[in-house]
Structure 1
Amino acid sequence: MIPQRFTKLAFSLIMSGIMSFVISGISSFRAIGLSKDGVEAWLTGWPLTWAVAFPVVTVVAPLSQRLAKALTKAA
Protein backbone atom coordinates (compact mmCIF):
# COMPACT_ATOMS: atom_id res chain seq x y z
CA MET A 1 0.00 0.00 0.00
CA ILE A 2 0.96 3.60 -0.53
CA PRO A 3 1.50 5.67 2.63
CA GLN A 4 -1.45 7.94 3.45
CA ARG A 5 0.67 11.08 3.10
CA PHE A 6 0.54 10.49 -0.68
CA THR A 7 -3.29 10.52 -0.85
CA LYS A 8 -3.50 13.87 -2.66
CA LEU A 9 -0.85 12.83 -5.17
CA ALA A 10 -2.60 9.49 -5.78
CA PHE A 11 -5.88 11.38 -6.29
CA SER A 12 -4.20 13.66 -8.84
CA LEU A 13 -2.71 10.69 -10.68
CA ILE A 14 -6.02 8.81 -10.85
CA MET A 15 -8.16 11.85 -11.68
CA SER A 16 -5.80 13.13 -14.37
CA GLY A 17 -5.52 9.66 -15.90
CA ILE A 18 -9.27 9.18 -16.15
CA MET A 19 -10.01 12.68 -17.35
CA SER A 20 -7.22 12.77 -19.93
CA PHE A 21 -8.28 9.33 -21.22
CA VAL A 22 -11.88 10.47 -21.74
CA ILE A 23 -11.10 13.92 -23.13
CA SER A 24 -8.37 12.73 -25.50
CA GLY A 25 -10.76 10.02 -26.74
CA ILE A 26 -13.52 12.53 -27.42
CA SER A 27 -11.09 14.89 -29.16
CA SER A 28 -9.58 12.11 -31.28
CA PHE A 29 -12.94 10.73 -32.37
CA ARG A 30 -14.30 14.18 -33.19
CA ALA A 31 -11.22 15.00 -35.28
CA ILE A 32 -10.64 11.65 -36.97
CA GLY A 33 -13.78 9.61 -36.42
CA LEU A 34 -14.51 6.25 -34.88
CA SER A 35 -12.06 4.22 -36.93
CA LYS A 36 -8.81 2.34 -36.58
CA ASP A 37 -6.93 5.62 -37.13
CA GLY A 38 -9.04 7.36 -34.49
CA VAL A 39 -8.35 4.68 -31.90
CA GLU A 40 -4.64 4.72 -32.75
CA ALA A 41 -4.50 8.51 -32.44
CA TRP A 42 -6.32 8.29 -29.12
CA LEU A 43 -4.06 5.66 -27.61
CA THR A 44 -0.85 7.28 -28.83
CA GLY A 45 -1.95 10.78 -27.79
CA TRP A 46 -3.29 9.85 -24.36
CA PRO A 47 0.11 9.44 -22.60
CA LEU A 48 1.09 12.97 -23.62
CA THR A 49 -2.21 14.41 -22.42
CA TRP A 50 -1.84 12.52 -19.13
CA ALA A 51 1.70 13.88 -18.72
CA VAL A 52 0.28 17.39 -19.02
CA ALA A 53 -2.90 16.73 -17.01
CA PHE A 54 -1.16 15.24 -13.96
CA PRO A 55 0.82 18.33 -12.93
CA VAL A 56 -2.12 20.58 -13.84
CA VAL A 57 -4.51 18.60 -11.60
CA THR A 58 -1.88 18.49 -8.85
CA VAL A 59 -1.67 22.29 -8.84
CA VAL A 60 -5.28 23.18 -9.67
CA ALA A 61 -7.17 20.72 -7.43
CA PRO A 62 -6.38 22.55 -4.15
CA LEU A 63 -7.33 25.87 -5.74
CA SER A 64 -10.58 24.40 -7.03
CA GLN A 65 -11.39 22.97 -3.61
CA ARG A 66 -10.84 26.35 -1.96
CA LEU A 67 -12.98 28.08 -4.58
CA ALA A 68 -15.77 25.53 -4.20
CA LYS A 69 -15.65 25.94 -0.42
CA ALA A 70 -15.83 29.72 -0.79
CA LEU A 71 -18.84 29.47 -3.12
CA THR A 72 -20.84 27.14 -0.89
CA LYS A 73 -22.11 27.29 2.64
CA ALA A 74 -22.80 24.73 5.33
CA ALA A 75 -26.41 23.53 5.57
Structure 2
Amino acid sequence: MIPARYGPVLFSLILSGVMSLLVSGISTFRAVPVDQGFLGLWAGAWLTGWLLAFPAVMLAAPLTRKLVTLLTVRDSNGSGHG
Protein backbone atom coordinates (compact mmCIF):
# COMPACT_ATOMS: atom_id res chain seq x y z
CA MET A 1 0.00 0.00 0.00
CA ILE A 2 0.95 3.63 -0.41
CA PRO A 3 1.90 5.59 2.74
CA ALA A 4 -0.79 8.04 3.90
CA ARG A 5 1.56 11.02 3.51
CA TYR A 6 1.19 10.60 -0.27
CA GLY A 7 -2.60 10.79 -0.02
CA PRO A 8 -2.98 14.33 -1.37
CA VAL A 9 -0.76 13.57 -4.37
CA LEU A 10 -2.62 10.32 -5.08
CA PHE A 11 -5.95 12.13 -4.75
CA SER A 12 -4.78 14.77 -7.25
CA LEU A 13 -3.46 12.12 -9.63
CA ILE A 14 -6.71 10.15 -9.63
CA LEU A 15 -9.02 13.17 -9.73
CA SER A 16 -7.12 14.84 -12.56
CA GLY A 17 -6.98 11.57 -14.49
CA VAL A 18 -10.71 10.89 -14.24
CA MET A 19 -11.77 14.46 -14.95
CA SER A 20 -9.42 14.90 -17.91
CA LEU A 21 -10.57 11.51 -19.29
CA LEU A 22 -14.21 12.62 -19.15
CA VAL A 23 -13.67 16.12 -20.50
CA SER A 24 -11.36 15.05 -23.32
CA GLY A 25 -13.75 12.22 -24.24
CA ILE A 26 -16.72 14.54 -24.48
CA SER A 27 -14.76 17.16 -26.41
CA THR A 28 -13.31 14.60 -28.81
CA PHE A 29 -16.73 13.00 -29.32
CA ARG A 30 -18.24 16.37 -30.22
CA ALA A 31 -15.39 17.25 -32.60
CA VAL A 32 -14.68 13.97 -34.42
CA PRO A 33 -16.97 11.23 -35.72
CA VAL A 34 -16.45 8.00 -33.79
CA ASP A 35 -15.46 6.12 -36.96
CA GLN A 36 -12.55 8.48 -37.76
CA GLY A 37 -9.89 7.42 -35.27
CA PHE A 38 -11.84 8.49 -32.21
CA LEU A 39 -10.01 6.33 -29.66
CA GLY A 40 -6.54 7.38 -30.78
CA LEU A 41 -7.47 11.05 -30.80
CA TRP A 42 -9.16 10.73 -27.42
CA ALA A 43 -6.13 9.01 -25.90
CA GLY A 44 -3.81 11.73 -27.20
CA ALA A 45 -6.09 14.49 -25.95
CA TRP A 46 -6.46 12.79 -22.58
CA LEU A 47 -2.72 12.37 -22.01
CA THR A 48 -2.06 15.97 -22.97
CA GLY A 49 -4.89 17.15 -20.75
CA TRP A 50 -3.74 15.01 -17.84
CA LEU A 51 -0.23 16.42 -18.04
CA LEU A 52 -1.75 19.86 -17.49
CA ALA A 53 -4.59 18.85 -15.16
CA PHE A 54 -2.44 17.06 -12.58
CA PRO A 55 -0.30 20.07 -11.59
CA ALA A 56 -3.38 22.30 -11.84
CA VAL A 57 -5.22 20.13 -9.30
CA MET A 58 -2.14 20.04 -7.07
CA LEU A 59 -2.10 23.85 -7.04
CA ALA A 60 -5.86 24.41 -6.91
CA ALA A 61 -6.76 21.90 -4.16
CA PRO A 62 -5.25 23.79 -1.19
CA LEU A 63 -6.71 27.08 -2.41
CA THR A 64 -10.09 25.45 -2.95
CA ARG A 65 -10.05 23.96 0.58
CA LYS A 66 -9.36 27.43 2.00
CA LEU A 67 -12.13 28.97 -0.09
CA VAL A 68 -14.60 26.30 1.01
CA THR A 69 -13.64 26.95 4.63
CA LEU A 70 -14.31 30.65 4.15
CA LEU A 71 -17.65 30.06 2.41
CA THR A 72 -19.12 27.51 4.82
CA VAL A 73 -20.44 27.85 8.35
CA ARG A 74 -20.43 25.41 11.21
CA ASP A 75 -23.55 23.20 11.31
CA SER A 76 -25.79 23.40 14.36
CA ASN A 77 -24.61 19.91 15.42
CA GLY A 78 -21.02 21.18 15.67
CA SER A 79 -19.66 19.67 12.47
CA GLY A 80 -18.37 21.59 9.50
CA HIS A 81 -16.05 24.54 9.14
CA GLY A 82 -16.23 28.11 10.16
Aligned to 2:22: 22
Q: Distance in 2 between matches of 1:2 and 1:24?
A: 28
List gaps (5 residues or longer) in structure 2. Answer: 76-82
Higher helix share: 1
- The CA deviation at 1:36 is 4.3
List gaps (5 residues or longer) in structure 1. Answer: none
Q: Which has the higher contact order (CA 8 A, sep 6+)?
A: 1
Q: Distance in 1 between matches of 2:70 and 2:49?
A: 30
Instruction: Say yes or no: does 1:55 pair with 2:55.
Output: yes
After TM superposition, the score normalised by the length of structure 2 is 0.83
Q: Distance in 1 between matches of 2:13 and 2:44?
A: 19
For the aligned residue pairs, the C-alpha RMSD in angstroms reads 1.2
Q: Work out the percentage of aligned pairs sharing the same amino acid.
A: 43
After TM superposition, the score normalised by the length of structure 1 is 0.90
Worse overlay, 47-56 or 32-41:
32-41
Number of residue pairs matched? Answer: 75
CA deviations on 1:3-48 (whole Å, 9 max, x unpaired) are 1111100000000000000000011011113334222210122111
Which protein shows a greater Rg? Answer: 2
Worse overlay, 29-38 or 51-60:
29-38
Q: Distance in 2 between matches of 1:51 and 1:3?
A: 24
